Each structure stands twice: as structure tokens, then as C-alpha cells.
A and B are shown apart, each in its own frame.
Chain A
């Protein structure tokens, strides 16, 4: 399961970021969500949602002595893992990285994306 993106449909509303942080942290803070909108708001107006691609081969934890299945359920990661991701799919804030755990199977962000820029691919 992963989240697919059609960037041309993204309206830049940030609801995905808000609900992601609220669901995981109990507070709204777009800087601490696992999905983010990279906005080109003053030029093309094209907004690009960016989120973990749920790679089969996880470069982010490569060479780490950890249980992949357990790590996948964690929302807050250490910052250096984000630096290993070739797709910039983890959001960094302070010393932490935030990784999409698919909300345990029911991604909240998808439920509020009214223009269907993001959806779930099983």
C-alpha cells in the first residue's frame, strides 16, 4: 500500500499536512507532518505533494540493525534517515524526520483531499 500523487490536481490547501500532524501528534503543525506540499505559489502555482514512497528496498534504514516491520510503524524518525532517502520523501523538522506510516492502513490525508491529488494504491 502506498500514496499515489497527481501534482497537477493539488490545490495547495495543506489539509493533508494538518490532518497528518493532528492524527499522529494531537496537535496541528504542518512542519511536523509526514506529507508536505512543495509550493510554487508565487510563480507557476503548481504544488507538489511529497510523501514516503514506501520503497520495498528501504535506503533510509539500509545498514541499520533494526526490524523493518517495526520501524515502518513509527511516525517520528531520526533526522539522518531522511538524508538517505533519494526522493526526499521524509519531512525534516529540527532533529527529527517524519515518515508516513499510512495511519495504520487508513491514510487520513487521502480522506481530506477533495480534489483527489492523492489516493491510496493497494
Chain B
């Protein structure tokens, strides 16, 4: 039963024109949806000179092929050229927005041009309206969502919006929905800001017809039963992702104070997952997620929220020297309301704090002493970034801030392809490190992280999973290129389907993957794709992204790690660990070969032809 997921909308904000079109079935079968289709739509409009903050930057919203069906998550991707990096912009988002869009019957939105006045989009089933957003300007992300629901008179409307940070085109502003979900990385909120687009509101009430309803019902329940029996899933549903903090600290995997250290020792007990219970009032889930990995929390009547998860706690915590959980909750929520990416915000603050520590910048530059972990200072700098005030206006420029800082400053910004390193330090875990170096959107764990590498699983199990020898020692380089290549493909497929990492092979080798996805796709849409066929789609998405990077001149030279990663960790549980340049290069060679790319990290002509890469 086709077509399924073929309708997409083109919205021209300059001309105020809207057109709904059909995507040819053959393209849908090549890219499915979500990140895959976003990349196709981006590629069709791509040239390397597009100004990320100019009207010609295409902003693409796309739901996964299975979003809104009974599957494993209802996620979506937002993609464009990134104002933060100047290269590939792409971010994945949970919450309810994606499913709501699915029930409108549309799967992708391509937003181009720039409105003269602030506007928001209102999509109700097949009707798309461009509405005045002047009264919404300056509102924070939760206020914006409430105001739109009130204006349109329906509490079920889902809104993806920007806060003040996006309005001010802070280069690492995200797009937010609900109390927590954010398409956070690579600055897509700034793209919305540059287009004068405050929000996209959706309400869908259409039937999502599936190919084999009885088949979906019985197969889904069978998969669900298996998934919920996993200890990892049960722990996530109880503690959320903060459950990984204790192990990360004990092993020395944290990026403490801008990666100067990798553990906070006994002081880490302040941030263990159990401590969140003090503020938690229960667990909540994204649309159609049985895992429910998020806390909802309350600090005061005014400060309530969801999460925060490992990444935000780390970025507003150890990365900037703060180990006070309540302060961290406050600052995460502050970022959320401004619509700032917590990971990048923490990273640029950490950069500035190290510059201050080393005397490269001083009180005069910043306006106040920028000390590690200082609650007042951290809050102040977040306000200044979002409002582009004083030194905050410099940091709001992300890596481009170097032009306005002393020459030595750039040496302490740890990034890959202009996207800053995250809250973790990957020097000890070689697979993780390679994944950060090769991720298509810049330093990012979500493109490939094989979290199960640290579980030291039996080598026979790893060999069966990855189809080749992979060392069960996470400090070893052996087989890790294969691991990263394998996960890059799988996660590209997950992002094309709308499936969450926590319901596939992320931390458990027995979770659903290609076979199960293929079956769900068939039962839901009638489209038959083999496990091998899905893997090819994963390779197509990765290769297309790589081709886009190549057109900017990015290649092997840019698949590297910050210089600090090649220096030994000075102390703590991971003391002495570092990346060895020669071994790292060997991993890269093997990784390129697995993808079918040449030694410079460029897809070979024959491979591109076979995958039908449109660029």
C-alpha cells in the first residue's frame, strides 16, 4: 500500500507562497524520511557558497518514515547549512511535534527565503498559513508555545519555536518544542531567526493508514515485550540518562573544565542520578516511547521542567566546573527558555573560562571575573550570550568569535569541523574518539556512539554483531573503525525512520535493528526493504553527507581531533591515556575503506554512482 510519506510542503517566506508537492516514490524508497530525506532535499538546493544566515539557506523539517506509527520513537530532524559551523547543519528532536506533523499527512517542510516581518507557520492538516508573529517576539520558548496555543484556541497544537537566542541569531540557538525537546546542535534556531520565523505550529487529525493493522499490533507487542525486559531500558525508565554519570566519572570519561581533566573524583557523588529524585515528580516520555527516560522536575513553583539529561548536566556542570545540581538545573532551564543548545553553550563558556584562567582574556574583556563553577557568573554569561550583550556577543559567534579575541584564544577551543566537543572526553575510548572525528555535523556522539563498547562484552558476541573481529577492550584500536562505520549506518537509518537511539543497538546488543525495522516498515507501509537494503540506505545517507562536506573542501584533514586529545590525561582514573596519531590514522584508513571512500575521505565515483548520490 503506497504511497506513504510522500507529501511535502515548500514554503517561500519571501514571496509568502506555499505549495504542497508529492515526492516521487522512488526517492522515498531511497531515503525514507527524517534525516535521509532532509539530506536529499538539502542536496538538491546545495551550493557551497550559501550564507547560513541568508535567505537562500533552505531550512528542512522532516519526520521519520515511521514517526506517528506504532514503532520505536517518533523523532524528527531539522537540517540546513549551519550558522555555527558554516558546514552541515542537522539536529534530531523528540517530543510530540514530529507525530503531530505526521497526522497532518505532511512529512517534510522546506522553508526558504526570508520574511520581512516576524511570522510563524500554522499547519492544520493540509492547510498552511503564514501568520503574524510580532506579538510573540521576545517571548521565551515556553511562553511562545503557550501564546500560540491560546491564539489558535487548541491545547493540542504542537509548536517548534525559537527563543530570544534564535531571534538574536546566536549561532548555537536551537529549535524547541515542549519543556525540553530541542533540535539543539548546529544552530538551526539562528536559521529560523534569520528568516524572521518565530515558530512552526502544527495540528494533525488525519488517519494514518497502515498496511497491515493486525500485523503491526502483534509484532509491535512482541518487540515491546523484549525491549522492556532489558535491564538497560528499565534503568533508563527509572533514572534517565544521568544514570551514566557515575560510571563516566569513575572511568575518567568526562570533559572536566574544558577537558583539562576527565574525572572529578569523589566530588562526582553530587551529580549521581539518584540525587535527581529530590526534584523529580515522575517520568515522562516523548511521543510513542515506552522507555520514558525523562524526569519532570520542580525546583520552585516558577522553575519546573523536564530532564535534564546527561549531556545538559555535563555541559552546565563539570565542563564549566560546576558540581551543584540545583544550580545546574537552573542554568539548563535558563538555556532552554532562551532556546540555546546546552552542549554548545557549555562548551563556549568552558573555552572562555580556560582563556580567563590562563590570562588570555581578563576581567576587562568579560566585564566580571569568569571563574569555574561560579553560579552568578555562569547565569550572567548565559543572559549576555542570548541577548548578545558585551562579551556575550562575542561568544554568540561560536568559533567565529576568534576574530574578536586574542590570537592564542583559538588554541583552547576544542572542536571538530567547527562544532565544539561535548561534555565527555573520548581520549581513552578509541571508538568514541573516532566517531567524534568523523561525524558529519562536527563533533557529535549521536552520529555513531557505540556505547556498548564500554560494557566489555564477550568478543564472540561482538564479532557476531559487527561481522568481524572487534576488541572488547575499549582502550584498544582494534576493530573500532568497523564499529564506528557500522553504527554510523545504523543510526542514519534510525534517523530516517524516527527511531530513538535507546530502542536500538546503543547500549544493548540485543535491541531492535535492521531486521525488525524492515518488518515494521513493511507492516506499516507495505514497502519491502531487506536488512541489507536498509544498510544501503544508511550508507547512501552517510555518503551523501560526506559528499556535501567534500564540496566545502572538507576531507581527511578535517576528520581529526583537538590537539589536547593527543596529549596524555594528566591525572585521575584515565591518567596517561591519549590518542596515538599513527593508530588514529590507521583507524581512519580502515573507516574510509569500509565506507568505500578514498584515502582522503572522498567517496569514489563508482561508489557514488552505485548509491545514486544526487551531487
Binding site for B on A (CB under 8 A): 8-9, 11-15, 18-19, 21-23, 25-32, 39, 41-47, 93, 108, 111-112, 114-115
Contact in complex: A112, B224 (CB < 8 Å): yes
Q: How far is the CA of A21 from the CA of B69 in the complex (A)?
A: 11
Q: Which residues of A contact B283 (CB under 8 A)?
A: 11, 115
Contact in complex: A112, B221 (CB < 8 Å): yes
Q: In angstroms, how far is the closest chain B Cβ from the Cβ of A60?
A: 23
Contact in complex: A18, B210 (CB < 8 Å): no
Asked if B179 CB lies within 8 Å of chain A CBs, one says yes
Q: With A114-B228, A114-B290 known to touch, is A28 a contact of B285 (CB < 8 Å)?
A: no
Contact in complex: A22, B210 (CB < 8 Å): yes
Q: Which residues of B contact A11 (CB under 8 A)?
A: 282-285, 289, 292
Q: Which residues of B contact A39 (CB under 8 A)?
A: 155
Contact in complex: A30, B103 (CB < 8 Å): yes
Q: In angstroms, how far is the closest chain B Cβ from the Cβ of A85?
A: 20
Asked if B60 CB lies within 8 Å of chain A CBs, one says no
Q: How far is the CA of A28 from the CA of B145 in the complex (A)?
A: 25
Q: How far is the CA of A97 from the CA of B146 in the complex (A)?
A: 27
Contact in complex: A29, B284 (CB < 8 Å): no
Q: Can you list 19 A-B pairs with a CB-CB distance of less than 8 A? A: A11-B284, A11-B285, A13-B289, A14-B288, A19-B70, A21-B207, A22-B210, A25-B207, A27-B213, A28-B210, A30-B103, A41-B179, A42-B145, A42-B146, A42-B149, A45-B296, A47-B284, A114-B292, A115-B283
Binding site for A on B (CB under 8 A): 68-70, 96, 99, 103, 142, 145-146, 149, 155, 178-179, 205-210, 213, 216-217, 220-221, 224, 228, 237, 281-292, 296, 304, 306
Contact in complex: A22, B216 (CB < 8 Å): yes
Contact in complex: A41, B178 (CB < 8 Å): yes
Q: In angstroms, how far is the closest chain A Cβ from the Cβ of B102?
A: 9
Nearest first, the 5 A-B pairs at minimum CB distance are A45-B296, A27-B207, A13-B285, A11-B285, A11-B292
Contact in complex: B68, A28 (CB < 8 Å): yes
In the complex, the chain A residue whose C-beta lies closest to that of B145 is: A42
Q: In angstroms, how far is the closest chain B Cβ from the Cβ of A32?
A: 7
Our count of residue pairs bridging A and B at CB distance below 8 angstroms stands at: 101
Q: Which residues of B contact A22 (CB under 8 A)?
A: 70, 210, 213, 216-217
Q: In angstroms, how far is the closest chain B Cβ from the Cβ of A112?
A: 6
Q: Which residues of B contact A32 (CB under 8 A)?
A: 207
From A9, A28, A47, contact of B70 by CB (8 A): A28
Contact in complex: A44, B284 (CB < 8 Å): no
Q: How far is the CA of A106 from the CA of B103 in the complex (A)?
A: 27
Q: Which residues of A contact B96 (CB under 8 A)?
A: 14, 41
Q: Which residues of B contact A12 (CB under 8 A)?
A: 284-285
From A18, A31, A114, contact of B205 by CB (8 A): A31
Q: With A13-B292, A27-B210 known to touch, is A111 a contact of B285 (CB < 8 Å)?
A: no
Contact in complex: B209, A13 (CB < 8 Å): no
Q: How far is the CA of A31 from the CA of B146 in the complex (A)?
A: 21
From A14, A44, A108, contact of B99 by CB (8 A): A14
Contact in complex: A23, B217 (CB < 8 Å): yes
Q: Which residues of A contact B155 (CB under 8 A)?
A: 39
Q: How far is the CA of A59 from the CA of B289 in the complex (A)?
A: 35
Q: In angstroms, how far is the closest chain A Cβ from the Cβ of B93?
A: 15
Q: Which residues of A contact B221 (CB under 8 A)?
A: 111-112
Q: In angstroms, how far is the closest chain A Cβ from the Cβ of B524?
A: 9
With a 10 A CB-CB cut-off, give which of A29, A93, A111 has the most chain B CB atoms.
A29
Contact in complex: B290, A112 (CB < 8 Å): yes
Contact in complex: B237, A114 (CB < 8 Å): yes
In the complex, the chain B residue whose C-beta lies closest to that of A9 is: B282
From B70, B224, B286, contact of A18 by CB (8 A): B70
In the complex, the chain A residue whose C-beta lies closest to that of B287 is: A14
Q: In angstroms, how far is the closest chain A Cβ from the Cβ of B360?
A: 42
Q: How far is the CA of A11 from the CA of B95 in the complex (A)?
A: 12
Q: In angstroms, how far is the closest chain A Cβ from the Cβ of B158?
A: 9
**Besides the contacts A8-B281, A15-B70, what 6 more A-B pairs have beta carbons closer than 8 Å?**
A14-B288, A22-B216, A42-B149, A45-B306, A114-B228, A114-B237
